[in-house]
Amino acid sequence: MTIYCKTEKELSDALKNDASQIIIDYNLKEGVLKIQAAGSVAWAVALGTISVALATVVVPGINLIHSLSLSTVLTSIFGLSGSALLASLVYHGGIKLLHKIKAYKSSTMSDGRLLLEYQGN
């Protein structure tokens, strides 16, 4: 099944529903490409950063300055569009969606949109 996504929520839903093909609109394209291009070291740092960021919500005493420095780490790895999309995917479906998006092969369509095709784990 092919799903067309214009928003982060639609992309999250498509990933949750294991769509075989996802067509990504222009506004999400850059963020998806940055997330997919990140290497394993970048992913390890990002997942650690996300874990600490989640702890700032749960654990009292971790202040806003720590949260801001964590967002700076994510932005330096994924860029602004990538980290915004990353945060949205975590918000809408958890860290498992970040692993799912890496299982898709991306290619640019003739009209400039991005096609994601599921390749499995």
Over residues 58-67, the pLDDT tens digits come to 555 555 555 5
- Tell me the percentage of the chain whose pLDDT exceeds 90: 36
Choose between 118 and 34: higher pLDDT: 118
Q: Report the candidate in 108, 113, 85, 111 with the shortest Cα–Cα distance to residue 15.
A: 85
Q: Is the pLDDT of residue 25 over 90?
A: yes
Supply the pLDDT for residue 54.
Answer: 61
CA 51/CA 45 separation, integer angstroms: 10
Over residues 68-115, the pLDDT tens digits come to 566 676 676 777 677 777 777 877 887 788 788 889 999 999 999 999
